[in-house]
Amino acid sequence: MNNNADRTLELLRESGAMLEGHFLLSSGRHSDRYFQCARLLQYPDRAAEALKGVVSALREDMAAGKFAIDLVVGPAMGGIIVAYELGRQLGLPAIFTERDDSGAMTLRRGFEIQAGQRILIAEDVVTTGKSSEECAAVLEQLGGKVVALACVVDRRADRGSDQQAQGAAVRWPIYRACKVSVETWDAADCSLCKQQIPYVKPGSRKFNS
């Protein structure tokens, strides 16, 4: 792990953003750890420090001609502040997608996507990549082109069976402030459920549990 990633983990701990317990994730899976990045992102100086390594890596690859970025878009709620801070450091506009009353991701508030516009999606935590894909579907339908994904915490599973359980691999280059391996379970196999430990659902996505 590099120094930037180590420092991001320190910032997460200092901010109380790494929680332990029994959590129902937005994916429907259960976990004994949860990242509440809002606790980190409430401090502008910590948000800036956590994401400076991501910005450095993005600038390096853009300078090498791998891609260009015209706009940063964060899925609400977790991606809003991340998108803003990345946009601020990169000198780019930053907007967000959000869910309508039915739970579908949409673009509102007068935000517009230009045909061919090259977009960086910004997230706080990436677990399955589902919200990023939903965000990308909206942007691509409007004529945008997603070129990369950036996040504070990449907590995707590393092993084959777990990766399949958590969803398809991210289809863009991913730029992360830190990578953390966290074990998750299907509800039927959750050892914490078997111990009758109540879970909490800290995520913002609406779904049927």
Domains and CATH numbers, the chain: 3-194 (3.40.50.2020)
pLDDT computed for residue 127 by the predictor: 83
Q: What is the mean pLDDT of residues 145-173?
A: 74
pLDDT band of residue 165 (cuts 50, 70, 90) is: very low
The reply to whether 20 sits in an annotated binding site is no
**34-49 average pLDDT score:** 95
131 is in an annotated binding site: yes
- Is 153 labelled a binding residue? no
Mean pLDDT over 77-98 rounds to 97
pLDDT at 205 over 60: no
Annotated binding residue at 128? yes
pLDDT for 203 equals: 63
| Token pair 């966290």: residue | 182
| Mean of pLDDT values over 128-151 | 95
Check whether 129 is labelled as a binding-site residue.
yes
| Residue 155 in marked binding region | yes
- Known binding residue 125? Answer is yes
Top pLDDT among 42 and 155 is at 42
> How confident is residue 81, by pLDDT bands cut at 50, 70 and 90?
very high
Instruction: Provide the percentage of residues in the chain whose pLDDT is more than 70.
Output: 90
- Known binding residue 127? Answer is yes
Say if residues 166 and 190 touch (Cβ distance below 8 Å).
no
